[in-house]
Structure 1
């Protein structure tokens, strides 16, 4: 049968519509499409170390041309080509000076991942949530008190635009910390949280990090700007973000913190880590200090980085101290380490990660003077803990008890990025986060940025520890 031109046109139009509908259907099978914005930190790649159900395998990358974006793409390629459980990411890359405007105009995805140079991150966040994108941002979201209000406004904008703004708090997924929190919620063992004093805080968290480190099987190449506190942020507003978050998360679980009423800074201080030019070359692959770092170079060859800091403050009347120290390289067999104590009226919960623990975080339950029957309480409490963490046991030692943690829970820091990303995807699917998350992010960044202001004014600041 011969078709008239009119009928042929109608059939062709119907076929095109059907194809477009099919394409649209295929695209909509993935609820979430990732965009990576200006990746300059290896944390951006770690978000993609695993695949996620409901997330499109094509990721759109927008960045200025240069070594940072290439290092990111090389890490993704490494995940795609590894022998064990390779990923299947496809990176669609745009490189250009107008990368931010291009991303906002293209709207190729609905979830923007940010992990890189922190100097502009708060601006990136503000513009991205303002354009209606969800944002998963590496810490810190803000590195100065002058930009704190901008971040606070971004959370209000996100709520107005019905998108979720969330930061990557990996330390909540470290098993010894999770168990410290779990045992602190068992009054038969822990008692109640002490109030403490500035000299003897109720909660202390100390973190030691290293510039020279192994990530995903190779020595990490850091961008030179990572050592510039005007771009990366000082240590007191960077790694301490995790520690302040854990203080809130453990001491007042699932409770909203009001930064204007609940937080009072007592003292803060900062000091530098010194780095030789040869050490700088080893981690950046650059032969000289760039011009923007020369302001921090003394004696022509020693770079001084304000990567260390300590904050003493009260949270709802509870005295807390958090501190971060950056060394150049860890001792043989060691890595980044964490120390934490929560002081209870009945027992202290202590995480140690030194040579005695073979540099593995280990949780201890240590009775305080005059404490009640901890042994009997543990028999009652342990089944409750095991409901959430099957296989966890306790072992009697001279100072109290060591919490014995099965190997299956010891995933390592890199795996925690997948945990955070999955939690965020769950929030996206639900269309909301728990009510306490946003006020507690605001409270956390208020604490760190105000502490930096206080430390800069402090006469007790030290050049090197």
Structure 2
């Protein structure tokens, strides 16, 4: 039998053994995680943002206490280690992480070569993050990434490739969507799913969208009780990303999560209508206060006018998702008013009522959910349905209760035990991801909807830049 015949015979046998499976299809394998103690081993890659440390604010039974850190030398990694040390040495419920650190210009290659862990966590320079993600899943390592996973339309195809590669290598790629765990947002979503209360979501218009999400953030803030020191690159939108592709990721995610819960979306469902961007001006004094640097680095000089740094961190997009009008706004101020912090505003418009989250001075800068009945409906009937609906939710959310403000408006009072705070949400996301590792898969809608989310934000930026 000649060599060609042998090759053909082997190919036929292999095809028969595989049941004729196409080579592009990924064979389902047994999950590599069982939930056993210490089986998850974290590697932290280039932690330039404090969100990387917040993943480790608490310990997890499933996660080994030794964490390997790979990063370039400099203040970013030191700031990360300082935060971890503050968790290890705090008086109440201290953690016991052991950080093994490698620093050097080849930190990524070193991590991929040594592979001391099975989950990579990254939060930092967003211009590099898409490449980090792709190379990590290509190496067969699970990834838990801070948002955003991509900040430019040019890099978006690489993120799509990363999801495909992760599936081929049977690893999970997931982003940290903390805002899904904010209780007022959860209850806004819950009430919108009660037809007797909300009716149906209206389609809305460009002038009056069916759903609006607005987020106000601040460059100078306190994290874990200390003034946050931000790296200088954070103010370079080529590295951090503009507002629409950065914080806007959360808002677009919430729109998908609330309006089309657990429904698989596609890029064709998105129609970008309009977009804009604008700058926040930082004086040298402001810049020094938040970075501890007394001058703007060379790479920021392109954004300096008359001695003032113009940071294009603000943006707005108007689009439709499956015909539903949505609006996303991201605003960055330098510092919040006394007693205030980052704030969120949201409205969902239904045929029977509007569900509104406000977080202004009247609310003490704490998010508050309001229910406003529409004109023309039977208020007495609506009130009965609303009270019954909220009562039905108390089994999942104990002690929530309605407070009537006037004939058509109610406030939903939420007990403090359900208000865990932004920093605690990182632990909740991590717990969810750990369960997904045990399951061996994400919910079927998560990956396609992550792709749609980043398509929306990057297309929004493209429209704003025109």
TM over 0.5: yes
Match of 1:414 in 2: 423
**Cα distance in 2, alignment partners of residues 39 and 283 from structure 1:** 18
Match of 1:17 in 2: none
**Cα distance in 2, alignment partners of residues 74 and 432 from structure 1:** 34
Residues 342 and 350 in structure 1, CA contact (< 8 A), matched pair in contact too: yes
Match of 1:288 in 2: 295
Residues 345 and 371 in structure 1, CA contact (< 8 A), matched pair in contact too: no
Match of 1:447 in 2: 456
2:377 is the counterpart of 1:364: no
2:67 is the counterpart of 1:65: no
1:222-233 superposed matches below 5 A = 222-233=230-241
**Cα distance in 1, alignment partners of residues 160 and 116 from structure 2:** 26
Deviation at 1:371, TM superposition (A): 2.2
Match of 2:82 in 1: 74
For residue 179 of structure 1, give the secondary structure of its aligned residue in structure 2: helix
Structure 1 residues 8-41: Cα deviation after superposition (integer angstroms, max 9, x where no partner):
xxxxxxxxxxxxxxxxxxxx85210000000000
For residue 146 of structure 1, give the secondary structure of its aligned residue in structure 2: coil
Which residue of the other structure, out of 238, 259, 274, is the alignment partner of 1:267?
274
2:184 is the counterpart of 1:176: yes
Which residue of the other structure, out of 292, 298, 302, is the alignment partner of 2:305?
298
Deviation at 1:379, TM superposition (A): 2.9
For residue 155 of structure 2, give the secondary structure of its aligned residue in structure 1: helix
Which residue of the other structure, out of 321, 333, 337, is the alignment partner of 1:331?
337
**Cα distance in 2, alignment partners of residues 382 and 66 from structure 1:** 51
**Cα distance in 1, alignment partners of residues 411 and 37 from structure 2:** 47
**Cα distance in 2, alignment partners of residues 62 and 208 from structure 1:** 32
**Cα distance in 1, alignment partners of residues 391 and 173 from structure 2:** 37
Residues 263 and 445 in structure 2, CA contact (< 8 A), matched pair in contact too: yes
The CA RMSD measured in Å over matched residues stands at: 0.8
Structure 1 residues 231-272: Cα deviation after superposition (integer angstroms, max 9, x where no partner):
00011110000000000000000111111x211000000000
What is the aligned residue count?
A: 428
Q: TM-score, normalised by structure 1?
A: 0.91
Match of 2:27 in 1: none
2:409 is the counterpart of 1:403: no
**Cα distance in 2, alignment partners of residues 395 and 67 from structure 1:** 49
Residues 210 and 336 in structure 1, CA contact (< 8 A), matched pair in contact too: yes
Q: TM-score, normalised by structure 2?
A: 0.91
For residue 55 of structure 1, give the secondary structure of its aligned residue in structure 2: coil
For residue 120 of structure 1, give the secondary structure of its aligned residue in structure 2: helix
Q: Which runs of 4+ in 1 moved over 4 A?
A: none
Match of 2:157 in 1: 149
Match of 1:256 in 2: 264
**Cα distance in 2, alignment partners of residues 443 and 309 from structure 1:** 19
Unaligned runs of 5+ in 1: 1-27, 458-465
1:24-63 superposed matches below 5 A = 29-63=37-71
For residue 395 of structure 2, give the secondary structure of its aligned residue in structure 1: helix
For residue 149 of structure 1, give the secondary structure of its aligned residue in structure 2: helix
Structure 1 residues 246-303: Cα deviation after superposition (integer angstroms, max 9, x where no partner):
00000000111111x211000000000000001000000111100000000011x200
Match of 1:348 in 2: 354
**Cα distance in 1, alignment partners of residues 256 and 275 from structure 2:** 18
Unaligned runs of 5+ in 2: 1-35
For residue 237 of structure 1, give the secondary structure of its aligned residue in structure 2: coil
Match of 1:10 in 2: none
Which residue of the other structure, out of 104, 112, 120, is the alignment partner of 2:112?
104
For residue 39 of structure 2, give the secondary structure of its aligned residue in structure 1: coil
For residue 126 of structure 2, give the secondary structure of its aligned residue in structure 1: coil
Mean alpha-carbon deviation: is it higher for 375-384 or for 130-139? 375-384
Which residue of the other structure, out of 74, 82, 86, is the alignment partner of 2:94?
86
Residues 347 and 371 in structure 1, CA contact (< 8 A), matched pair in contact too: no
**Cα distance in 1, alignment partners of residues 444 and 392 from structure 2:** 26
